[in-house]
Structure 1
Amino acid sequence: MNELTRQISIVLRTIWQRRWLAVAVAWATAVVLALLVWVIPNRYEATAKLFVDTQSVLKPLMAGLAFQPDLDQQVRMLAKTLLSRPNIERLMSDPGVGLGTLTDLKREQAIDRLSARIKIEHSGGNLYLISYRDGDPNRAKAVVDGLVNLFIDSGNDSKQRDSQDASRFIDEQIKAYEVKLVEAENRVKDFKLRNFGVSGVSGQDYFARMSALTDEVGKLRMTLAAAEQSRDALKRELSNEEPNVAVDAPTPAVPMAMQTEIDSRLDAQRRSLDDLLRRYTDAHPDVVAARRMIGQLEAQKRQQEAERAKAAAKNGGRVASSNPVYQRLRIALAEAEANVASLRSQLGGQQERLDQVKATASRVPQAEAELAQLNRDYDIMRKQYDMLVSRREAASLGLKIDQSKSMAEYRLVEPPRVPAKAAFPDRTVLAVVAMILALAAGGAAAFGMGKLYPTFDTQEALQAFAKRPVLGTVSRHLSLAAERAQRFDLIRLSGAMVVFMALNVTWIVLLAGGIQPH
């Protein structure tokens, strides 16, 4: 502590020895710094506060009906990209900014200055502070006003542009999927036409049909076998009966109730034909066979009638009377023959169907796999198409919402304004700093001169410098004139410092009161 005090006292004595140098340097430094403080150009700061309200009433109402982007994230990204070069160029083209007619080099420099001086600060939430400093307060205000308009217009334009681009992209995808959907439908149609009777029926259905047809064929075979046995029994009984019994007198006409064998067979075949026509078409094999049988029986009936007429003419009017038992057996045999023919025809038809089903059943698994693949592709495309259509409706609704400008509302909390006082420099603070720097410069100049040309005020200082013992000292005695001169010098020094401080304080007070260059 004593050493520090000693060093301070040495510094002060060194400065005091060259006090007038310190005063001169302080005055000169103060004047130069005062001029610098005065000539520094003013920078006026224009500010504006903008609030973006993304909590619209439409937002919860449109949930699930329309696509809703993250508006908060979009606003933050818009604030970060607001100072892009295209936006700065648009801002410079504003007549209020006054930077439209510049050379290329100066225009580039102006763009760089604008980008460096514009500040966009996020003040929490969706509140943004836009500020800009310029030597011209009107231009500073015009720049901030242009930035606010650019912020609002860019937000609305970007939302609408994004929605329009999304709608356009979805429309293009829908057209592409329509083409794919038509192609898939045509492939399914062509496959069903090529595999008619196979596609659309599962393998289980075919095996069930095969089992049912096999059972039906087995039943028909059993029924046919029983019908053939009955027919054979009738044939044996008919072979033991005489067909005719001779009589002398002409027999009366046969009553209508008594039918010949051929008539009975004709009636049975016609009934069978009627039954077949109710179930099948004219081209069915059973129908064709029944009609062929009816034609043969009708020809046989005409032949028998002709033979009977010839026999009656040959016997001179004597005819052979038919045996009633024989006739009944013939009728029963005809019905049995018709039944056997009908059963054979049915058996043939069912056997043909069974063979067709067996031949087709081998193609069913492959057809099922191909059809399943085609349907799967079609279902995927159909699902994507329906999803795109629903997205297009949602995008269309979102575009209408964006055009209504109701999802995000821009509120100008504080319109652009420029305070009357310049934001930079703060000349009051600079004047105080200049006064302190002037005093420090004077003291430093005096101390530096003392180090260049050192003097020794005490015996200890001389001994420390010379590193030799000091043998003695001589005291100085001032005369009255010297004392008066010393006091006068002190008065002049005090006056110079008082005037220095008074001028600096007055200068600071004037600057604090608002005086400043224009």
Structure 2
Amino acid sequence: MDLLIAQLLLILRRMWKYRWPGLLVAWIAGLVGAIITFTVPNRYEASARIYVDTQSILKPLMSGLAVQPNVEQQVVMLSRTLISRPNVEKLVRMADLDLKNQTKAQQEALIETLTKELSIKSTARDNLYTLAYRDSEPETAKRVVQSLVSIFVESSLGASRKDTATATTFINEQIKNYEAKLEEAESRLKEFRLRNIQMTASEGKDSASRLSELSAQLDRARLELREAENARDAAKSQMEAEKTRLGSGTVQSLLQESAQSSATPEIDARIDAQKRNLDALLQRYTEQHPDIISARKLIKDLEEQKRKEAAELQKAALNAPAGRGGPTSLLQQEMSRMLAMQEVQVAQLKARVREYEGRYSAALTSMKTAPQLEAEAAQLNRDYAIHKKNYEDLVARRESASISGELDVASGVADFRLIDPPRVAPQPVAPNRLMLLAAAMAAAIGAGVFASFAASQLRPVFFDTNELRNKTELPVLGVVSRMVSEEDLRRERRDKIRFWIGSAVLVLAYIVGLGVMAVLNNQGAS
């Protein structure tokens, strides 16, 4: 610690030797600082406050119909990006700042200055924005703030309308593209259906379903054919047995049975057809469907008609003459007619079975190419469905964008209110000459001290024998002392007094300047 103190004292002794150059530098720096402090031009600040009202009664009413933008976020982003080069160039023209600038370099410098000086401050909670600008001329600062307010409001409205127009244009282009894609998909689907009309006419069923349905129809037709053949064989057997029966009671019984069994074959066929139709309808509709109700009523009417005709034939058979040849002949005729009808029905069912067999064979053959065709049909239908869905979504979004744009224009979703119009403070806000003068005094004193220190380092002086030996690394043989006279002491005292007076005058001058500046500032504030 003692060594450090000794080194510090040695440095101070060296600096004291060069005190006059330091004082001279301090005076020069002090004068320069004072001149700069009093010659810096005053800067006046113009400011304006804007309130952005983002609440609108139409927003909840139009929820779900129109796009609800985040207006607060848009305004915040606008305030952050307002001070851009295009806006600053527009501001220069609006405030007539370009009249003084003749060269390109001056214009660039003005734009850079404006970009640095313009400020937008906001309180995020209240949507209150303060626009400010400082300039040496109060009127210029006011014009700049007025122009900035206009650009702020216009940019918000223009940005919203521009976004709406851009979105509408983009959606319209996409709609045109999807219209072309949709027409192309429809054309491909139509051509495929025309090429494979036998497959597309099956009510959307695949090849396996159609084959299963044809197989079921073929089995049903074969069953009906066997039933018809059995009925025909039974009629033949009954007709053969009739020839051996000659009793009147037997004849009458046979007549009654014949009348009951073959009284109405046409009505039976119609009833069977209606029952099959009813089964098909029940697979698709409920019991309350009009077609099912109508089919059941028709079956009931046919059964009633069948009972009536059977009763009439039975009555005619009972009333027929009981002679030897009459009943037998009538019975044979009836049996022959029944057998003929059975033969016709068998022939019809055989034709039906052959038709179903042909269809089943064709469907079985087409099964080899059916999967590929079905896959192609599924791909075409999928592409068409996707294009159609995208097209409908885009049309809906276009309508939503249109309503949103009209909502912005009609309701003024963001209402800009000028709370404080642009005004200029009567007193300059910069520079703070009191602080500048104090800084100049501190800089002058620091410059003087640094000058003395630099001179002591450039031209060092040794006050101690050990220090001289350490620095030069040479042996010191002796020391020559200097005798100081009274005159030397008086001269040294006068020199110190002059130095301290010069230093005190410098500091006092700054203190007086600071006091005068403080008084002037208080008077201006009051």
Aligned 1:348-367 pairs, distance under 5 A: 348-359=350-361, 361-362=363-364, 363=366, 366=371
Q: Deviations over 1:4-45 (max 9, x none)?
A: 6744763575367x5xx7666554443333223222333444
Q: What is residue 476 of structure 1 aligned with on the other side?
A: 485
Alignment partner of 2:437: what SS?
helix
Q: What is residue 86 of structure 2 aligned with on the other side?
A: 86
Please tell me the residue identity of whatever aligns with 1:85. Answer: R
Q: What is residue 173 of structure 1 aligned with on the other side?
A: 174
Q: What is residue 141 of structure 1 aligned with on the other side?
A: 142
Aligned 1:345-494 pairs, distance under 5 A: 345-359=347-361, 361-362=363-364, 363=366, 366=371, 369-404=375-410, 406-410=412-416, 412=418, 415-441=421-447, 467=476, 469-470=478-479, 474=483, 476-478=485-487
Q: What is residue 37 of structure 1 aligned with on the other side?
A: 37
Q: What is residue 14 of structure 1 aligned with on the other side?
A: 17
Cα pair distance change 1:231/1:422, threshold 3 Å: same
Q: What is residue 108 of structure 2 aligned with on the other side?
A: 108
Q: CA deviation at 1:190?
A: 5.8
Q: CA deviation at 1:335?
A: 0.8
Matched pairs, number: 440
Q: CA deviation at 1:61?
A: 5.5
Q: What is residue 295 of structure 1 aligned with on the other side?
A: none
Contact 2:218–2:357 (8 Å) recurs in 1: no
Q: Does 1:200 align with 2:221?
A: no
Q: What is residue 317 of structure 1 aligned with on the other side?
A: none
Cα pair distance change 1:225/1:498, threshold 3 Å: closer
- Matches of 2:214 and 2:180, distance apart in 1: 39
More helix by share: 2
Q: CA deviation at 1:323?
A: 6.6
Contact 1:156–1:405 (8 Å) recurs in 2: no
Contact 1:132–1:143 (8 Å) recurs in 2: yes
Q: Does 1:218 align with 2:223?
A: yes
Q: More deviation in 429-438 or 61-70? A: 61-70
Alignment partner of 2:78: what SS?
helix
Alignment partner of 2:94: what SS?
coil
Q: CA deviation at 1:429?
A: 2.0
Q: What is residue 291 of structure 1 aligned with on the other side?
A: none
- Matches of 1:351 and 1:50, distance apart in 2: 91
Contact 1:47–1:129 (8 Å) recurs in 2: yes
Please tell me the residue identity of whatever aligns with 2:87. Answer: N
- Matches of 1:178 and 1:37, distance apart in 2: 73
- Matches of 2:135 and 2:231, distance apart in 1: 120
Q: What is residue 230 of structure 1 aligned with on the other side?
A: 235
Cα pair distance change 1:433/1:325, threshold 3 Å: closer
Q: Deviations over 1:240-286 (max 9, x none)?
A: x9xxxxxxxxxxxxxxxxxxxxxxxxxx999959978x979xxxxxx
Cα pair distance change 1:341/1:369, threshold 3 Å: farther
Contact 2:228–2:345 (8 Å) recurs in 1: yes
What value does the CA root-mean-square deviation take over the aligned residues? 4.9
Contact 2:95–2:147 (8 Å) recurs in 1: no
How does the TM-score come out when normalised to structure 1?
A: 0.65
Please tell me the residue identity of whatever aligns with 1:511. Answer: M
Contact 1:235–1:333 (8 Å) recurs in 2: no
Q: Deviations over 1:108-164 (max 9, x none)?
A: 333333334334456656665544343333223322332333233222222221122
Cα pair distance change 1:338/1:90, threshold 3 Å: same
Q: Percent identity?
A: 32
Q: Does 1:328 align with 2:358?
A: no
Cα pair distance change 1:27/1:188, threshold 3 Å: closer
Alignment partner of 1:107: what SS?
helix
Q: More deviation in 422-431 or 444-453? A: 444-453
- Matches of 1:490 and 1:231, distance apart in 2: 163
Q: CA deviation at 1:339?
A: 0.8
- Matches of 1:328 and 1:401, distance apart in 2: 94
Q: CA deviation at 1:378?
A: 3.3
Q: What is residue 311 of structure 1 aligned with on the other side?
A: none
Alignment partner of 1:132: what SS?
strand
Q: CA deviation at 1:94?
A: 0.7
- Matches of 1:198 and 1:207, distance apart in 2: 13
- Matches of 1:353 and 1:76, distance apart in 2: 79
How does the TM-score come out when normalised to structure 2?
A: 0.64
Cα pair distance change 1:433/1:332, threshold 3 Å: closer
- Matches of 2:33 and 2:516, distance apart in 1: 16
Cα pair distance change 1:163/1:359, threshold 3 Å: farther
Please tell me the residue identity of whatever aligns with 1:198. Answer: S
Aligned 1:285-296 pairs, distance under 5 A: none
- Matches of 1:210 and 1:63, distance apart in 2: 57
- Matches of 1:165 and 1:275, distance apart in 2: 72
Cα pair distance change 1:226/1:25, threshold 3 Å: closer
Contact 1:92–1:99 (8 Å) recurs in 2: no
| Structure 2 unpaired stretches of 5+ | 247-261, 275-323, 470-475
